[in-house]
Structure 1
Amino acid sequence: MSKNAPTPTFRPIEESDLLALALLWHEAWRAGHLALAAPELVEARTPDRFLNRLKPFAGNGIVALGADGEPDGFVYWDGPELDQFHISERARGTGLASELMRRAEEAMAGVGITSAHLFCAEGNARAYRFYQKAGWRDQGVEGTKVSDGLGGWLPTACHRFTKELARR
């Protein structure tokens, strides 16, 4: 964390966080994907649809709260897949992402996950650089499908990153 940044509070995601996390996710997704995504995916990625997708996250994952109590980032994993990782605009460049990633990796390892993976949309340069800096290894681009938020799936190209997690 940078010296000037207030120390965030980290805790499990709670149901009461979901609306604020949906708004954060919407903003972060648009910052990283708007220029890359198919028009139908951009249209489908509304705050309400992010909120609907977040419902299973309550009780799982980690939220980082700023000094004002508002979420500055969150991470969610599903088994060995680090499924979602988002930082608010105001917290980018503060070191929060590195600390949140460290905590997520530690928590995953703490439940016995030793080999993790994540997907990064091809062309999302900022996220790509961050994952590399955090020690994740790019295994190449593969075609995958992402939720359209309506129960369907859209094809997309993603880098598949992997990382061996330290056993605790």
Structure 2
Amino acid sequence: MTVTGLHAADLSFRPIKAGDLPALAALWHEAWRAGHVSFAPPELTVARTQERFLARLQPFAGGGLVAWLDGAIAGFAYWDGAELDQFHVGANARGTGLAARLMAAAEAAMAADGVTSAHLFCAEGNTRAHRFYQKAGWRDAGLEATRVSDGAGGWLPVTCHRFVKELACA
């Protein structure tokens, strides 16, 4: 499907439900691998299993947004306060325009929650996501050293771009 082929009737958004979590874990696992495997430390790649993504998704039920395209889950966004914590689009929906519409819906929902200044983190090396966030109007505020769980109780260093965007409150 092309950008011009994506019609409002084909696409819908709603809060994430508990029943969505297995499909979202599969989507997140695939999307993470597509965006990170080429540069992530091998220990992190091993730790990022579909089962671990499913466990991480448990608190998301009832929040965020899931995108449905042609009757199937095609992406999701989840925020925690002012941080857009997760934003992923499935392989079958990349290049369709869905990501831009999901981002606009997530930004509008965050603004409706009273968020005026949002931020997100994008791993250094995830060039596709970096380009998308810039195109969506997010400003790269620079690199930050952070750490992520290795899945075994330890932590691995990761460098991320911190993106910021002012949101118009609804």
For Structure 1 versus Structure 2, the TM-score category normalised by the shorter chain is over 0.9
Would you say 1:127 and 2:129 are equivalent positions? yes
1:3 partner SS: helix
TM-score by length of 1: 0.96
- Extract unaligned runs of 5+ from structure 2: none
Q: Aligned pair in 2 of structure 1 residues 117, 94: CA closer, same or farther (>3 Å)?
A: same
Would you say 1:56 and 2:59 are equivalent positions? yes
TM-score by length of 2: 0.95
Instruction: State the match for 1:27 in structure 2.
Output: 30
Return structure 1 stretches of 4+ with deviation > 2 angstroms. Answer: 147-153
- Describe how 1:130-145 pairs up with structure 2 within 5 A: 130-145=132-147
Instruction: State the match for 1:104 in structure 2.
Output: 106
Q: How many residues in Structure 1 have an aligned counterpart in Structure 2?
A: 167
- Extract unaligned runs of 5+ from structure 1: none
Return the alpha-carbon distance in structure 2 between the equivalents of residues 147 and 106 of structure 1.
30
For 1:54, give the aligned amino acid: L
CA RMSD of aligned residues (A): 1.2
Give the C-alpha shift of residue 5 in structure 1: 2.9
CA contact (8 A) 1:65 1:72 kept: yes
Return the alpha-carbon distance in structure 2 between the equivalents of residues 91 and 149 of structure 1.
29
Identity %: 65
1:17 partner SS: helix
Return the alpha-carbon distance in structure 2 between the equivalents of residues 112 and 152 of structure 1.
35
1:82 partner SS: strand
